[in-house]
Amino acid sequence: MADIFGSVPQGVVAYPLHPTSLARSVDVRDVGHLAAKLLMLSPDERRKHQGKIYDVCGPEAVSTTDVAAHFSAALGRPIAAVQIAAEEWSGNAEKAGFPGWLAQAVCRSFTDFWDKGLLDVPSSPEVLEIFPPSRTLKAWIEEHASLVQAELPA
């Protein structure tokens, strides 16, 4: 969830995808809590999860339009969701310090997965049974908005 500050100070959430495309972003703290819960299971309970692959997803699907609305509410300023070219996003990511290969890989996750609705899936039933992710992107933005507040132009 922590990769969205780059364009917010300019009053936009800019990604190379349609602003209404949905994805379920998961808070890394929820992933950590799930891992801790798995480690705390008895050896017999843990065995049934060994070698399994589970989807760990956020509790709700959000679009960049939703992200912009949450930032607008948290910051008290209008923030708009805009679609930019993949090359522009990658170039901006490189200017922000991403190695070129990583900027392109992250950009492809937006264009090849998020924009096509492939990241709008619920967590696996086993995950929901052990520790359902509960931190919403709205709550994350409310918690972290102050980190960009000072950077916003007056």
Which domains, ranges and CATH numbers included, belong to the chain? 8-85+119-142 (3.40.50.720)
Can you give the pTM of this predicted structure?
0.86
Rounded percentage of the chain residues whose pLDDT exceeds 90: 82
The CA distance from 133 to 13, in Å, is: 24
Q: What is the pLDDT of residue 149?
A: 55
Number of C-beta neighbours around residue 107 at 10 A: 23
pLDDT over threshold 90, residue 152? no
More confident position, 54 or 3? 54
Q: Up-side HSE of residue 16: CA atoms within 13 Å toward CB? A: 20
Rounded percentage of the chain residues whose pLDDT exceeds 70: 93
Instruction: Report how far apart, in Å, the C-alpha atoms of 110 and of each of 15, 63, 99, 130 are.
Output: 8, 11, 17, 29
Q: What is the pLDDT of residue 88?
A: 93
How many Å separate Cα 107 from the centre of its chain? 13
pLDDT tens, residue by residue, 18-52: 999 999 999 999 999 999 999 999 999 999 999 99
pLDDT over threshold 80, residue 113? yes
Q: What is the pLDDT of residue 1?
A: 35
More confident position, 32 or 6? 32
Mean pLDDT of the chain: 91
Give the mean pLDDT of 105-129. Answer: 96
The CA distance from 4 to 62, in Å, is: 13
Q: What is the pLDDT of residue 2?
A: 39
**CA dihedral for 109, 29, 23, 74, sign (positive or negative):** negative
Question: 5 falls in which pLDDT band (50, 70, 90)?
Answer: low
C-alpha torsion 144→10→71→112, nearest 10? -90
